[in-house]
Amino acid sequence: MADLQALQETIGYTFRDESLLGLALTHPSASGKKSSPSEDNQRMEFLGDAVLQAVISDALYSLHPNHDEGTLTKARAALVNGTSLAAKAAPLGLEEHLIMSRGQRSDFERGKLSAMEDALESLVAALYLDGGMDAAREFVRRTFAEELANPDQIAVIKNPKGELQELLQIDSGEAPTYEVVDSTGPDHDREFEAVVMHLGQALGQGRGCSKKAAETTAALDALAKLQES
């Protein structure tokens, strides 16, 4: 693992308890058969996700009093999705600082996006635990400053099926499949219901006036649920 002091200089915060930063950077693979859930960053990921959502929501709300709920919700979803968080983790050098097993390191590309997302959320949790909400807020607002200032310019999900496939293939190597499970209405005005499946699990469902539209809605539903998990 690289020098934690260098990372602290990059993020602009010096930890009073550096072990919190070390824990935030400990991938689940590093502890093997762990005896306690506190031995890696999974619990911190849970907390960091909540803190991140709260800070982003507060910033969007206070910076843009003329934006309606729908616009703010879409902006927040775009900022906290896995692709966005992984992209923010990259320039911080979190990958170089991650503590993981040798086997996981050699096959890192397969689960890279998820690991980077988790590491950034865990870092936010570590900041919160060490310096309170002020420390977490300062880091998040600085890291996402450009996007928070211009929510209308945040990239929307233009190809939900493609993004979902990329996300799942990075983590598992397997693409999702779609199944139309129902259709209702007359031939000239039918509505279809589709489910997106991955590794035997239903990830999302959606409805639309065509099979393609239903599958697209199902992909959006799956992406939203993956962001929350």
Residues labelled as active-site residues:
49, 121
Q: Are 126 and 15 a contacting pair, CB within 8 Å? A: yes
CB atoms within 10 A of CB 101: 14
**How far does Cα 182 stand from its chain's mean position?**
31
Q: Which two tokens stand for residue 228?
A: 């929350």
Alpha helices for 36-176 (secondary structure H): 42-63, 69-80, 82-89, 94-97, 102-106, 112-143, 145-149, 160-172
Cα torsion angle, 193, 198, 202, 206, sign: negative
The backbone torsions φ and ψ at residue 192, rounded to the nearest 5 degrees and listed phi first, read -110, 150
Paired strand residues for 178? 196
Q: Are 132 and 47 a contacting pair, CB within 8 Å? A: no
CB atoms within 10 A of CB 152: 9
CB atoms within 10 A of CB 145: 11
Give the list of residues 6+ apart from residue 99 with CB closer than 8 angstroms, or none: 1, 22, 25, 26, 27, 30
What's at 225, amino acid-wise?
K
